[in-house]
Amino acid sequence: MKFTSLTQRFAVWFTLVSLLPILFIGNSLLHTFETEIKEAAIQKVSAIADKKVEQIDSYLLERLSDVYLVSGMNTTHEAMVKLTAAFEQHGVDSDEYRQLDANYRESFKRFLDYARYYDLFLISTQGTIVYSQAHESDFATNLRTDRYRDTGLGKVTRHALDNLESSISDFEYYEPSKGAIAAFVATPIMIDGEIQGVLALQIYSHLVFSVISNNVGLSNSGETIVARLEDDQTALVMAPLKYDLDAALKRKIPLDNPPFSTAIQYALNGDSGGALTVNYRGKEVVAAWRYLPRLKWGMVVQINADEAFASVYHVHFVGVVIVILTFLAALFGAFLFNRRVVDPLKHLNQSALEISAGNLHLRAAIEGWNEMRQLAQTFNLMVERLNASNMELENRVAARTADLQRANSALAIKEEEMRSVVEHMVDCVVTTDEIGKILSVNPVMEKLFGYSHDEMIGQNVSIIVPEPDRSKHISYMENYCRTGHGQEYVGRPYLSGSHGIGRGREVEGIRKNGERIELYLAVSEYYVGEERHFTGVMRDIREHVRIMNDLQQARIEAEQANKAKSAFLAAMSHEIRTPMNGVIGMIDVLRQTSLTGYQMEMANLIRDSAYSLLSIIEDILDFSKIEAGKLEIEKIPMSLANIVENACGMLAHVALSKKVELTLFIDPEIPENMLGDPLRLRQILVNIINNAIKFSSKQEKQGKVSVRVLLTESNPDQVVVTFQITDNGIGMNKETQEKLFKSFSQGDPSTTRRFGGTGLGLAISHHLAELMDAEITVQSEPQHGSTFIIQMPFKPLTKISYADHKIDDLAGMNCLILGENDGLSNDLAVYLRSAGAVVEQAPHLTNVEQIVQKLAPGLWLVVIDAGEQVPSIEELRAAFNARSEIIKNAAETGLYQSHPFIEPRFIVIKRGRRRQARIEDIDIITLDGDVMYRQSLFRAMEIAAGRIEAETEETPSLKSVITSAPKPITREEALRQRILILVAEDNDINQKVIRQQLNLLGYAADIASDGKEALKRWQTGDYDLLLTDLHMPEMDGFELTREIRAIETNQKHIPIVALTANALKGEKERCLQTGMDDYLSKPVQLEDLRSMLERYLPNRKLIEATLSDSQPALPDSKTESTGTPLDIHVLEQLVGNDPEMIKEMLLDFYTSAEKIAAELHMAYQASQLTTVGSLAHKLKSSARSVGALALGEVCAQMEQAGKDNDAKALAEFFTTFDMLMISIKTYLNTLYAKDE
């Protein structure tokens, strides 16, 4: 290419002369600089690596020095000897050990705090940790045999014991310290040349890691990697990495992947060096590697090559920039002076002169290159914008003129609208200046006050203010305008604060004719320029005042009506309870007599109906008190778990009778004691649970009700507990849910006919919940059941002492729970874990062998949520036996340590309402899951584990049954024994009832028909107890009590107990304040009356005890001939006089007994005498419980013969056994054939 132009030649030669020298010199210097930088970087990381090796080695030597020092101290020697002795002789829970622990703990703590160790251990020569400063789960374990033997602590301990030398363990995760990374240093404790134990110190990992991760001198990308050999192909990272803080003991580096693992492989081989290499992240780095022999670690210290050679790269960049700039400068210098610049400037100057003269349409010619063309274009753009600005200014002036005209028109319209609004307001509007001079009024002024517009303008506003406020009004306004304060009197009632501006109030005004009128006045303040003005708006409230007075009168009348209603309810309660007392009292007496099954059923039906009526009365009374706002909520200490369990326990029989499964779960995290109202909480729960049972019954499917009590919020001042009552009943639609909590409502008439009820229970529960700051919500769908949710706050109470709160401790128990997830298994797991047990769960027995084989050695308690099914216990026994054989074989080959085989125990959770655990076989305990109490479960677990003995169910003997019934007593005997009772009662029916009840309980009484007669009888001094009605003719119970207390001032105090049908709140308190000792509500319960009499007539018990000792002995139950093989009185004593329940239990017993009898014969024929004894034991308990006493005795003899392997004796017993079984079957067929 030829350069003919002088401009081109000048540009080429200028560029070559400028760039060639710079390129040659710069390249030479850059090569030398790069070489020196690389060598310096390698030396730098090598020096840092040597320093870190020295620091780590120094740190480890210090740890060995520390452990040598402490192990040689006299305190350590003394502690080792004494603590070992106390541990082995008395145990860690003994006072001796605790005293020694307290003596040395502070000394060791000072050392640990000063030397910065986590824990200190003293370990006996047998390998047992007898002292731990941190007292974690490794305490009291054996490091030779127990679970921590393979930890770093176990290894250094065994090394010290076996080799009598110190050592340091590697860093690893240590489970007792919550999985923290730790290392241990240990040394033998030598006393007089003999080893007495081992001292071990637990080292904080972060102290070593801080040395490793310290990147001082390594710049931003510097990093230190330490690793140990995991196997021949892998290295395990031992400390956190800069780019992976969680890498310690987790991240692995493959050693068969060069060049990424070259440096760490050299280090682990024991080599030292440094070079430019590639790290584990694939980054090019300057690295130095070293070997740490004491820990067998390899260490690599590295800096990213990008950062280490940043200066080299920077020099490269600067050189390139200089070359480019030099080249551009050469080009610019070559062509700059060869372009014309003067002519374009002259043309532009001429155009500027013409435009400045006013020719705004002229434009400059665009010529030349680059800046000159841009300058011409910019100049033309400026001229165009100047022209546009002039036009825009003219348009804006015109537009703003039009806007101003429109605004003035709108303002005029607004003013007219405002004037019209004020003129036509129903309220009187007055404006004044700051001294009260009226500036304007609207036409309402004349209507309200009688003054015309002209009469008011210019007057002071005080003209419409009556005395005494009128004379003070002007001074008030002056004071307010001067200070902002001043109201002391204007307006009635007086307002709080210093003035009434901006506030509404009721005041009195005065009309022109002097009439005072009630007004509502609101005053506001505003400014016109700098002048202060006030606006007052006054409304005539004479009609409002009249209405308020009428409302006040109506409220007074309503309160009087409410009082009348309360008095009516109190009277009705008394009048209804009086005849009900006769019904229930006489039924209780009747039930104590000899009745047939059908008669007893009818009597129970009458009694239940009477109590249902009383329940309805109680609901109506509660609802009335709620409506009147007189129902108060107590705040007393209570156990929430006990209340819920009692509420569910009360309804367990109802659920069983309706064939509804009722289950209970109470969150163990709920505090034991809280402040609340136990009575009302129980009332709410009983109402809702009873509804759930009712609406879950009468279905084709199995009815189910679940009660769950959960802790949803907890803090020191308040806990929130959620009660969830779920059923699978008929459910509800949205319409029914909306009126669910309304009084006397049950959704629809069909529901009422089918399930009955008053419709008050949920309404009362809802009101009670609101009073307790709780909330009840419901979730339901038709045919899909309902869930009632109660969220209730409580105040927790601090535990007072250990004795007041038993801590359930199942620590050390291993439990395997088998059951479906929709059963009780999850709840059982929560209960057991809360008590400290180790729990494993399996939903079914499909893979039972695999599940059992994975269980740890030791005793396992297998909890089976069987429900209505029969558990496969034999299959489980076989699985445990197979596991035992596997462990035994493994122990013989040396793979596992040998452990003795312990037979498992089985706890079977069935369905039923019995609360106590029952021993069904040597290794089987059954417990009913319906309304299962947590303590019942814990007790069953402790019985199964052999920690406590099962309570034997003592069957009452015939002697105790005969002697337990009180015998009637004559009046003379009662007078002689000082147990004669005086009854003051005016109602004939109640007189008969109380007399029968007292006779039935073995007491004698005199009856007085009114208070005066009772007072006269009492003055004879024959009586030791007075039972008095409160409402009687002549003299009521209150007056009678006052008279007696006044007379007996210096005499013996005679107990007085009130008998009243008035169940309203406050009645008991009134009785006690009058001087009575106690209170019984009618209808009087037989058991309540019994308890009351035993409390105030203790002589009766003493006399009965004396008589029983002096009576001749009755025949023992073993020899007594009752004429029947079953004593039904035994069951009556256990479950009450309930014929249906007794029948059900007897028939269930015989069905079970027939099955066991068949198994007994099979076992005997197979010569399995031990099994015969086990089955006989099982039948013995149930036989005695139902009154088959003779059969129980034979079973006891068969049990003993089975244990003794006495086949001959068993043969004789089987003959008697079979005869008794036949006689029991015949007796039951005869007994219940009559009922049918």
Consecutive 10-residue averages of pLDDT for the chain (1236 residues): 52 65 70 72 80 83 88 90 91 90 90 89 93 90 91 91 90 88 93 91 82 73 84 83 79 78 79 81 83 85 76 70 72 58 64 74 71 76 78 81 82 76 80 88 86 88 85 79 59 45 80 88 84 87 86 82 67 66 71 63 66 66 64 84 87 83 93 89 89 84 92 92 93 78 52 50 82 90 90 80 51 88 87 91 76 82 82 80 74 59 84 74 84 88 83 44 58 87 86 83 90 91 90 88 85 87 71 90 81 83 47 38 67 64 79 88 85 84 80 88 86 87 84 59
- Assigned CATH for 633-800: 3.30.565.10
| Dihedral-angle region of residue 296 (phi above 0 means left; psi in -120 to 50 means alpha; beta otherwise) | left
CB atoms within 10 A of CB 1090: 16
Question: At the topology level of CATH, where does 425-540 sit?
Answer: Beta-Lactamase (3.30.450)
Peptide bond into 493 cis (omega under 30): yes
Amino acid code (one letter) for 280? Y
426 alpha carbon, distance to own chain's centre = 60
Please give the full DSSP string across 653-679, using - where no structure is assigned: HHHHHTTEEEEEEE-TTS-SEEEE-HH
Amino acid code (one letter) for 355? I
415 - beta bridge partners?
none
610, 113, 612, 11: which is closest to 329 by C-alpha? 11
Peptide bond into 1083 cis (omega under 30): yes
Provide the 8-state DSSP code for 1114.
P
Residue 886, Cβ density class (10 Å: 0-12 exposed, 13-18 middle, ≥19 buried): middle
| Phi then psi dihedrals of residue 723, to 5 deg | -100, 125
Q: CATH classification of 1122-1235 is 3.40.920.10, yes or no?
A: no
1155, 1158, 1196: which is closest to 1176 by C-alpha? 1196
Q: Are 791 and 718 in contact, with CB atoms under 8 Å apart?
A: no
Peptide bond into 782 cis (omega under 30): no
Beta strands in 105-193 (DSSP E): 117-123, 129-132, 167-168, 172-174, 180-191
Q: Report the chain's terminal Cα–Cα distance, integer Å.
A: 133
Place of tokens 């429900």: 867
State how beta strands 1056-1060 and 814-818 pair.
Answer: unpaired
Cα separation, 548 vs 429, whole angstroms: 25
Hey, is 875 helix, strand or coil?
A: helix
- Residue 357, token pair as written in the block: 């003269």
Q: Are 1047 and 1019 in contact, with CB atoms under 8 Å apart?
A: yes
Amino acid code (one letter) for 586? M
Q: Are 716 and 701 in contact, with CB atoms under 8 Å apart?
A: no
CATH 3.30.565.10 intervals, the chain: 633-800
Q: How many residues does the chain have?
A: 1236
Q: Are 383 and 358 in contact, with CB atoms under 8 Å apart?
A: no
Q: Which three-class secondary structure string do you get for 736-762? A: HHHCCCCCCCCCCHHHHHHHCCCCCHH
CATH 3.30.450.20 intervals, the chain: 72-209, 219-307, 425-540
CB atoms within 10 A of CB 779: 15
Residue 933, Cβ density class (10 Å: 0-12 exposed, 13-18 middle, ≥19 buried): buried
Cα 622 to Cα 567, 644, 745, 790, distances in angstroms: 14, 21, 16, 20
Q: Are 705 and 727 in contact, with CB atoms under 8 Å apart?
A: yes
Specify the CATH superfamily of domain 808-950.
Response regulator (3.40.50.2300)
Helix (H) or strand (E) holding 200: strand 194-204
- Residue 772, token pair as written in the block: 């307790």
Cα separation, 427 vs 442, whole angstroms: 9
Helices 1207-1235 and 1139-1165 pack at an angle, to 10 degrees, of 150
Cα separation, 1054 vs 567, whole angstroms: 32
Cα separation, 440 vs 462, whole angstroms: 15
Cα 573 to Cα 578, 1063, 1167, distances in angstroms: 8, 7, 71
Helices 95-115 and 74-89 pack at an angle, to 10 degrees, of 140
- Assigned CATH for 72-209: 3.30.450.20
Provide the 8-state DSSP code for 1048.
G
1061, 1008, 1015, 1059: which is closest to 1040 by C-alpha? 1015
Cα separation, 144 vs 137, whole angstroms: 16
Cα separation, 1004 vs 1026, whole angstroms: 12
Cα separation, 1204 vs 717, whole angstroms: 63
- Residue 106, token pair as written in the block: 């502070």
Q: Output the pLDDT for position 1178.
A: 79
Alpha-carbon radius of gyration of the chain: 50
C-alpha atoms less than 13 angstroms from C-alpha of 125 in its C-beta half-sphere? 10
Hey, is 451 helix, strand or coil?
A: coil
Those residues whose C-beta lies under 8 Å from the C-beta of residue 1035, and which sit 6 or more positions away, are 1010, 1011, 1012, 1014, 1015, 1043
Q: CATH classification of 961-1110 is 3.40.718.10, yes or no?
A: no
Q: Output the pLDDT for position 317.
A: 72
CATH 1.20.120.160 intervals, the chain: 1122-1235
Q: Are 863 and 943 in contact, with CB atoms under 8 Å apart?
A: no
Instruction: Mark out the alpha helices in 1097-1206 (DSSP H runs).
Output: 1099-1110, 1128-1135, 1139-1165, 1169-1186, 1189-1203
Q: Are 523 and 530 in contact, with CB atoms under 8 Å apart?
A: no
1017, 1016, 1006, 1004: which is closest to 983 by C-alpha? 1006
Q: Are 517 and 508 in contact, with CB atoms under 8 Å apart?
A: yes
Q: Are 583 and 1083 in contact, with CB atoms under 8 Å apart?
A: yes
Cα separation, 410 vs 119, whole angstroms: 87
Hey, is 721 helix, strand or coil?
A: strand
Architecture of domain 219-307: 2-Layer Sandwich (3.30)
Regarding pTM above 0.85, the answer is no
CB atoms within 10 A of CB 19: 16
Residue 113, Cβ density class (10 Å: 0-12 exposed, 13-18 middle, ≥19 buried): exposed
State how beta strands 719-727 and 838-842 pair.
Answer: unpaired
Q: Output the pLDDT for position 494.
A: 41
CATH 3.40.50.2300 intervals, the chain: 808-950, 961-1110
Those residues whose C-beta lies under 8 Å from the C-beta of residue 314, and which sit 6 or more positions away, are none
864, 815, 852: which is closest to 835 by C-alpha? 815
Place of tokens 């080292």: 203
Those residues whose C-beta lies under 8 Å from the C-beta of residue 502, and which sit 6 or more positions away, are 523, 524, 525
